[in-house]
Structure 1
Amino acid sequence: MGKIAFWGMQHGLGVTSATAALAAFIGFEYDVRTLVSQPQRTDGDMERFFNKTISQYNRQFFAIGGLGLDSLERVAKSSKLERDSVKNYTLMVERNRLDLLWGSEKLNRPHEGSIDAVNMVFRMAAEYYGISLLDARSGNENKVSNSLIEESDLVIICVNQNVGVLDKYFDAQQNHWPDALQQKPHLLLMTQYDPVSKYKIKNIANKYKYKLPILTIPYNTSFKDHMNDGDIKGFFARNRYINKNNENYYFIQEVGRAAKTILHEIGINTKLKRIERGS
């Protein structure tokens, strides 16, 4: 199982929307049991982005409660976590391929016991899911994020084309990274990417003498609208078979490239796991 933490050095870098986009794409295109979660829930953005699917598949959720990370924390503390426990407390987004675990507002004021319990939950998730995509709170002073990073197999560091953010990433990494990230495998992901900007990935790589891959999630108006409508899954469903002339083609290709690179990095064979068209 690959536990992947998405993280940014500061807020406002599109970490949550990038996590959601990649989770939706992987859940749609690959036969891999995938879990997505924003453990430290604030405004409920992750759940809101998938709201239409959640409403369709989990009509009674809001009435019955008893799901999400808070409930699993109680199970963990009672030493009753089992292989299928995490699955039983999630919301289905794509049957047998993508589940969403409702985050916890309590983690915004965490204590040591709650952080340990959350780590236990995601360790147990490894018994069922092939991959977990976790939206970690940005910044290097967050205990929950630092713990998620320390426990992860791969970290996706989100930046944008703002030169101040780029300077902070490339010139002062040691001062802005959590200690847990220093020896952790990571990939660079540029969010809200504008390919016609002066600061395109080729020029950024040359400017900062960066030799590793730079992944992108381009800015896309239709995706943004679907995200605001709570219909990320619908966006990828409607754009699955588009051709090069479609305005969304570049976005889909870049999200696909990022997803493939991330899956390869954690040892998943994308050729074997790719779902055949029309299936």
Structure 2
Amino acid sequence: MSLIAVWSPLKSGSGSTMLASSLPIVLAVEYQVKVLLAHGGHAGERVEQAFTYKQESLDYMTAFQDTGMDALERLRASGRLNPENVRNYTLPLLSNRLDLLCGPKPMSADDIHAPINEGDGKQAELMTRVMESSKRSYDVTVADAGNGAPGAADGAILRAADLIVVGLNQNLHVLESELNQVRLPPEVKDKACLYIVGKYDRESHCTLQNIKRRFGIKTMVLGVPYCSGMTDAWNMRSVMSYMQRSRGGADLKRRSSLYDAVRNLADAAAEHLGLPSGGSKAGGLHALG
């Protein structure tokens, strides 16, 4: 039904990839929708680093990869790619609730010597087809579109997105350089956007309201606080279990500030996309409409 792209104009420091890995968990748990998590990078990169899942042996993967974008590319080339195929070639993270679509294996030496435009065109075409199919086979797709100038696959994600979550930080020098309509890529201009300030420090003079005013942002800006527990979870590939614990148990009384912040984003995205109600609200931490 809907595609949420998570992207940052900054080369690093926004926490957008961590956010892209945690947002679909919250959507799947709180809204009880079927969610696909994808990304525009290669196998083992970006959001894949957040999770522990069964991987094929290196020899087998080299010879023939049976899941992810490589498998879908074979289907596309043979004319057999359809919405149901996408679900069949994903890895389950939450049973019947959240699936992960792994990226393609890195280019071989032969691919590197192929014409650049040809390779980019194939990547963009495949990602466009996959995103179209995912909209028909999942309630929500969350796709990590990377940082900085988008490549071919990331550009296809941004063009197909119904909503773009733009990752920022509190470094005004960097924001002044990157966050303007002249430098924003064409795939982002005129798209519906929400803004997230990662590793947000409430004590800083660079507040959410100041960022909105300084850069003329008319839509919602949310803050996601720095969380050492999430950093550790990322390093241990245990973001799933960490987010489940951070929800606070059955009574929700021990819910972490990071979970609240991601829930705020999930609520804002769900409202924009018209998802069914997800129950009690998180409390609106750091939200500015």
Per the normalisation by structure 1, the TM-score is 0.85
Contact 1:140 1:176 in 2 (8 A): no
Alignment partners' CA distance in 2, 1:5 and 1:249? 24
Task: Indicate conservation of the 8 Å contact 1:193/1:219, yes or no.
Answer: yes
2:235 aligns with: 228
Give the letter aligned to residue 30 of structure 1: Y
State the 1:67 CA deviation.
0.5
Please list the CA deviations of residues 92-141 of structure 1 after superposition, one character each: whole Å capped at 9, or x if unmatched.
00111110000123499633133212211121112210111111132235
Shift of 1:8: 1.2
The 5-angstrom pairing of residues 49-198 of structure 1 reads 49-51=50-52, 54-55=53-54, 65-104=65-104, 105-106=106-107, 110-140=119-149, 142-170=151-179, 173-198=180-205
Secondary structure class of the residue paired with 1:126: helix
Q: Which is worse superposed, 197-206 or 82-91? A: 197-206
CA–CA distance in structure 2, aligned partners of residues 267 and 204 of structure 1: 27
What is the CA–CA distance in structure 2 between the aligned matches of 1:209 and 1:184, rounded to whole Å?
16
Cα deviation, 1:171-211, whole Å, max 9, x if unaligned, reads xx222211122221111111111122221213323444544
> Identity of counterpart residues, as a percentage?
24
Partner of 2:285: none
Gaps of 5+ in 2: 282-289
Greater mean deviation of Cα atoms: 103-112 or 232-241 = 103-112
Compared CA separation, residues 244 and 88, structure 1 to 2 (3 A): closer
Contact 2:5 2:165 survives alignment (8 Å): yes
Residues 164 and 193 in structure 2, CA contact (< 8 A), matched pair in contact too: yes
For residues 240-259 of structure 1, what are the structure 2 equivalents within 5 Å? 240-241=247-248, 249-259=256-266
Note if contact 2:195-2:220 (Cα within 8 Å) is conserved in structure 1: yes
CA distance in 1 between counterparts of 2:274 and 2:120 reads 34
Contact 1:138–1:145, Cα closer than 8 Å, also in 2: no
Choose 25-34 or 101-110, whichever is displaced more.
Answer: 101-110
Q: Write the letter of the residue equivalent to 2:219.
A: L
Aligned position for 1:44: 45
Q: Are the aligned partners of 1:73 and 1:121 in contact in 2 as well (CA < 8 Å)?
A: no
Question: Who is 2:284 aligned against?
Answer: none
The corresponding residue for 1:23 is 24
Calculate the TM-score normalised by the size of structure 2: 0.82
Q: CA RMSD in A?
A: 2.7
Distance 1:119 1:207, change over 3 A: closer
C-alpha change, 1:29 and 1:178, in structure 2 (3 Å) is same
When residues 49 and 271 of structure 1 are mapped into structure 2, their CA distance, relative to the original with a 3 A threshold, is closer
5+ unaligned residues in a row in structure 1: which ranges? 275-279
What displacement does 1:269 show? 2.1
Structure 1 residues 11 and 131: alpha-carbon distance in aligned structure 2, compared to 1, 3 A threshold: same
Equivalent AA in structure 1 for residue 129 of structure 2? M
**Separation in 1 of the partners of 2:70 and 2:103?**
8
Read off the aligned partner of 1:5 and give its amino acid letter.
A
What residue in structure 2 maps to residue 277 of structure 1? none
1:229-267 CA deviation, whole Å, 9 max, x = no partner?
111111122122268985x62211111101110121112
Which residue does the alignment assign to 2:8?
8
